[in-house]
Chains A and B, each alone.
Chain A
Amino acid sequence: MAFKDRVVPTIRIGDALLVPIQIDLDDKTVERLQTQLLEEIQEHRVRAVILDVRMVEVIDSYISYTLSETAAMAHLMGCRTVICGIQPPVALTLAQMGIELQGFLVARDLEHAMGLVY
């Protein structure tokens, strides 16, 4: 995948693809991220994708819907998805709205996420 097409720069660590999201996720961005990740899963044949959302300040229903959908698609391609670093205010908001982030393994931080993958 051409570098310019990437919404988020990714890092390959062994069989895993690390995706540190350090931008504000709007609807278009999260849709493009979905396309990018599916292409990268196929291209690099990784067995896990780790989404690090430490820097993400708002996750609303559509963003969570699209991320969960991405995890479901990755699963169909034989790849696990771990989400880590959800900030306390974001966790509070998601819980209050009753959003469950289905399809993800959830980790506290990157180290925990790597532990879940290997």
Chain B
Amino acid sequence: MDGKLRELLDISENDFDVVVRITREEDIAIARQMAKQLAQELGFSLADVTKVATAVSELARNIYRYAQTGKIMIRKRLEESGGPTIQVVAADRGPGIESVDRVLARGYTTHERSLGIGLPGVRRLMDFCEIASKVGTGTVVRVEKRRRKF
């Protein structure tokens, strides 16, 4: 887990189409907007564009809420075997998560204005979701969604 976190924290920003730094509350809406735009460019359905934008909104809010600063990196992948894919990495060097299993269970939260449905929701909305975190080092969430064929 430690190696994985380090590897993900060190991912180069240059490999991504868009990098949104999260430092203010307004950046949550900016990250959401960028995700929406990239999903649209990939030809995602309106339903899937909304799911991706909502997932990114949750990830950006978690950064702002728990780590104060961090970044959302988004890229389009056209050559993936499963079809065009949007990949999002949410990285911060904040306090880290004590138990990843616990935050993925519905209803767990350490915040007073939350129902604890953000991260479990993200996992349901996306096709792939991976979380690497260590207390005192930071947290990286990597998610993906493929374009559906109609």
Which residues on A are within 8 Å of B, measured CB to CB? 24, 26-28, 57-62, 65-66, 88-90, 92-93, 96-99
Contact = CB atoms under 8 A, between A and B. Distances in A.
A77 B113 CA distance: 21
B121 A88 contact: no
Given A92-B47, A98-B121, A65 B26 contact: no
B25 A89 contact: no
A65 B61 contact: no
Q: Is the interface of B mostly helix, strand, loop or mixed?
A: helix
Q: Is the interface of A mostly helix, strand, loop or mixed?
A: helix
Contact of A65 (B115, B124, B125): B115
Contacts of A61: 58, 114-115, 117-118, 121
B146 interface: no
Given A89-B47, A93-B51, 7 more contacts: A60-B58, A60-B118, A61-B121, A66-B113, A89-B46, A98-B120, A98-B121
Contacts of A66: 113
B106 interface: yes
A62 B64 CA distance: 13
Interface residues of B, number: 27
A98 B61 CA distance: 18
Nearest to A102: B115
Given A28-B25, A61-B118, A96 B124 contact: yes
Contact of B26 (A28, A57, A59, A92): A28
B115 A92 contact: no
Interface of B: 25-26, 28-29, 32-33, 36, 46-47, 49-51, 53-54, 57-58, 61, 106, 113-115, 117-118, 120-121, 124-125
Contacts of A60: 54, 57-58, 61, 118
B120 to A, nearest CB: 8
B65 to A, nearest CB: 9
3 closest cross-chain pairs (CB), A and B: A97-B121, A89-B50, A26-B29
A98 B117 contact: yes
A97 B117 contact: yes
